[in-house]
Structure 1
Amino acid sequence: MTQRRTSPALVVALTVGLVLTASLTGCVSSGSSESRGSDSAPSIADSSVPRTGTVAEGSDTAASSGTTKPATAGRDVVSTGTVSLTVKKPTDAATRAVRIVETAGGRVDDRTERAATKGDHGSASLTLRIPSAALTETLASIRALGKVDDVSISARDVTAEHTDLGARVTALRASVDRLVDLMSRSATTADLITIESALSQRQSDLEALEAQQAALGNQIALATITLRLGSIAPAPPAPAPADFLSGLTTGWNALVTFITGVIVVVGVLLPWVLPPAAVAAIVLLVLRRRHRAVLS
């Protein structure tokens, strides 16, 4: 009786197919869970910001009054927002804000400043990355730098997305390990080429997912806050002219400013002066004609 022998190439091909099928099944199930979880991301506008892994539950009224609502633990959130302050000197306040954030363990990703000019102390805008665990205390210190004009903080729940990314990364790592082990036991060149092709695809997918996982983890760990600093206080007056040329320039500028002001005043008064003047001219003309008629 003849006994059939199974080809090694067939065994390798079947094994690779089973590995890829198992990996794809795990990714698909994770993706569907991700799409379900992403719909539950809340948005809040509260000056009290969640700690690490928590999100504050409040309304817009709570945000404007500065009250803090109870937080729900065990959730991954991405916190973003803007804070607008009116300060005496925006550039100095920006330096103090940077010091506050760095003391809390954060960093400044972007900083833009506009220098002070005549009648204006300038402005500043900073993009701050603040650790979520210290966000509430850090924002309180920043708000104390000046008068608060506007605060808008939102928290997006990414718990399901973060969990699904971790599961998909774990599944792909296991798939890569199985393919590496299988490649070490391949018997033919054809089997080796087939496994290497599948392994390359798996490793590429794994690197992409690991990059997404790292980026999301960074967003969870560090909140992104845009700080805008402005001032309504007038800047110090310009220094007095020091020589003849600067004095002549200052005098000329003053003369131009005076003439411009006079022209503006005349333009404002002209519509009120012309009609009475026209009526008075007509009355005088009529009186003169009557006077001549009487004399003749």
Structure 2
Amino acid sequence: MALAITIISVLALTACGGSAGSNESADSGSAETSLADTGGGRAAEGTAAEKQAAEPGQDTKQAPAVAKQAIISTGAIATEVKDVAKARTRVQHVTDKHSGQVAEQETGTDEDGRPGHARMVLRIPSASFAEAMAELEKLGALVDSSTTATDVTTEVVDTDVRVKNARASIERIRTLLARAERIGDVISIESELASREAELNSLLAQQAHLADQTSLSTITVSISRDGTTPADGSDSGFLPGLSAGWGALRAAGTWLATGAGVVIPWVPVIALVGVPLWLLARRRRQLPTPAPAAAGAAGTAEGADA
């Protein structure tokens, strides 16, 4: 009976101590909250006053915090210009103006070595996406322009929460690992820790990819030379005719050179096989053949002797 009374007394004292600690923590938290409210009260009032002055008639009640909207914006532009090289330079200027970068670039040339078409993939900050698209559409004769916007706010928020939970889980597992004493427990906990860390790394990679896609928009610019308008602005006269004739001569020379390149490897083979056959046939034609009349006379003389 005395032992039971002692246990009950200890439990009662412990409960009282825990309650007192809770009250002290609550009082401390209330004090900190009061200090925070006192220190930030003027700033809050100033912000509310500024909002009311800027938007008269609006309710100054503070709205609940919401997640920032995350949008992946992509655009594609196809245009025709007279000078592809100059248009490509203008695209670079637009990219530099908006602090972007050229992620990919390829250029094709015509028979004269001049740029005939170009394709450039740009990464532009999302805040400047609409302005950059409007400027790039003015490069030349616009053939096609399209934009796509994908809202990934939910995916971004979900990934952030999963990253936070994964980190907290890893910290708890590390705490258990520090307290483990048996080898079997250590091995089991380390295996679980490695699995959680691999999952966290995957989530971090996904988080970085989403951040890159939402912070930088992608614009693909396809530039081609206008086929209906010559580069020099004229399609008749002596110089265009001379240029066309020279081009035809070059094409003919290229065709002949190609044919010679195909035939030349066969010349040694034809010489090794054809020349002996030709000499053999010529020798056979030079051998004498017996006359039919001489053969008949020889036969008659033999019959008379008999």
Please indicate the TM-score interval, normalised by the length of the shorter structure: 0.5 to 0.7
Q: Which residue number in structure 2 is paired with residue 234 of structure 1?
A: 230
Structure 1, unaligned runs of 5 or more: 1-72, 241-245, 257-296
Q: Is the 8 A contact 1:121 1:235 kept in 2?
A: no
Cα RMSD of the aligned pairs, angstroms, is 3.2
Distance (Å, rounded) in 2 between the aligned partners of 1:193 and 1:105 = 51
- TM-score normalised by structure 2 residue count: 0.52
Q: Which residue number in structure 2 is paired with residue 32 of structure 1?
A: none
1:25-53 CA deviation, whole Å, 9 max, x = no partner?
xxxxxxxxxxxxxxxxxxxxxxxxxxxxx
User: Are residue 97 (structure 1) and residue 75 (structure 2) matched?
Assistant: no
Q: Is the 8 A contact 1:91 1:113 kept in 2?
A: no
**Aligned counterparts, 1:194-233, within 5 A:** 194-232=188-226, 233=229
Q: Which residue number in structure 1 is paired with residue 181 of structure 2?
A: 187
Cα deviation, residue 93, structure 1: 1.1
Cα deviation, residue 157, structure 1: 0.9
Match of 2:133 among 129, 139, 142: 139
> Letter of the aligned partner of 1:182 in structure 2?
L
**Aligned counterparts, 1:1-296, within 5 A:** 74-117=68-111, 122-232=116-226, 233-236=229-232, 250=246, 253=249
Instruction: Return closer, same or farther for 1:224/1:251 CA change in 2, 3 Å cut-off.
Output: closer
Task: Name the stretch that deviates more: 150-159 or 112-121.
Answer: 112-121
1:3-33 CA deviation, whole Å, 9 max, x = no partner?
xxxxxxxxxxxxxxxxxxxxxxxxxxxxxxx
Distance (Å, rounded) in 2 between the aligned partners of 1:251 and 1:122 = 17
Higher helix share: 2
Q: Number of paired residues? A: 178
Structure 2, unaligned runs of 5 or more: 1-66, 253-306
Structure index of larger Rg? 2
- TM-score normalised by structure 1 residue count: 0.54
> Letter of the aligned partner of 1:139 in structure 2?
M
Bigger RCO (CA 8 Å, 6+ sep): 1
Task: Name the stretch that deviates more: 163-172 or 229-238.
Answer: 229-238
